[in-house]
Amino acid sequence: MTQEKYPTIPFEFERRHDKESKFRGQAMLDSLRRRRSIREFSSDSVPRPLIELAIASAVTAPSGANHQPWHFVAVSDPATKSKIREAAEVEEREFYEGGRATEEWLNALAPLGTDSRKPFLETAPWLVAVFKEIHGVAEDGSNITNYYVNESVGIACGLFINAIHHMGLVTLTHTPQPMRFLNEILGRPKNERPFILFPVGYPADDCTVPDIGKKPIEEILTWVE
């Protein structure tokens, strides 16, 4: 198998001066350091085109064999958001109060101040549910194998978060477990599994966030030169 057997197109690339690359990289880092996970949302509306832009940015992600094993469902309907909150809080109560979480896990979450109540699932103007496609389905109903599904969808979600932040919106990576209720509520097929549920909007006027930080780069980076 050789590259010549498949069509190619020229790669458009603009090489930048090292100083410009550093400036652009530093500007992005400075911006991302202001990004925070938000649990206190304003009910102010967000135009649908902004959500579409964020998802369009997300799906530029690389994926195993370019199978793009993801599906996004954007929800603004209040009744559907209410159903999602109700189902999510059932699972969250099992986690926080029903013994599903270990004491060690609950202690680790304590600084974040989280509990089983998830009002943001109704307050945020949008919920974006990301599903991973375990396998594709051919026209004849047979399965199509997908590769590196978690890695591919994880990268897409990271790009989505970055796009949301870049547009001046906020979000949260919400992952109640299990999340199969999303398949039922949102009508997704059995070959898809919920991956992350993103509330998206603007922060509430009185929004606060935990006083926490990130590990210093010296602690998480090893150079081999």
Q: pLDDT band for position 2 (50/70/90)?
A: low
Residue 21 placed within a domain: no
Instruction: Decide the pairing of beta strands 143-145 and 135-137.
Output: antiparallel
Structure tokens at 129: 């549910």
Structure tokens at 162: 């970055």
Residue 150 placed within a domain: yes
Q: Please check the confidence at residue 3 and state whether its pLDDT lies above 80.
A: no
- The structural domain count of the chain equals 1
Residue 3 placed within a domain: no
Task: State percent of the chain over pLDDT 90.
Answer: 96
Three-class SS state of 48 = helix
pLDDT tens digits along 79-103: 999 999 999 999 999 999 999 999 9
- Residues spanned by the domain of 196: 39-204
CATH number of the domain within which 54 lies: 3.40.109.10
Strands of the sheet containing 126-133, edge to edge, are 70-75, 126-133, 192-201, 170-171
Structure tokens at 117: 């109540």
Residue 63 placed within a domain: yes
Q: Please check the confidence at residue 202 and state whether its pLDDT lies above 70.
A: yes
Q: Please check the confidence at residue 78 and state whether its pLDDT lies above 60.
A: yes
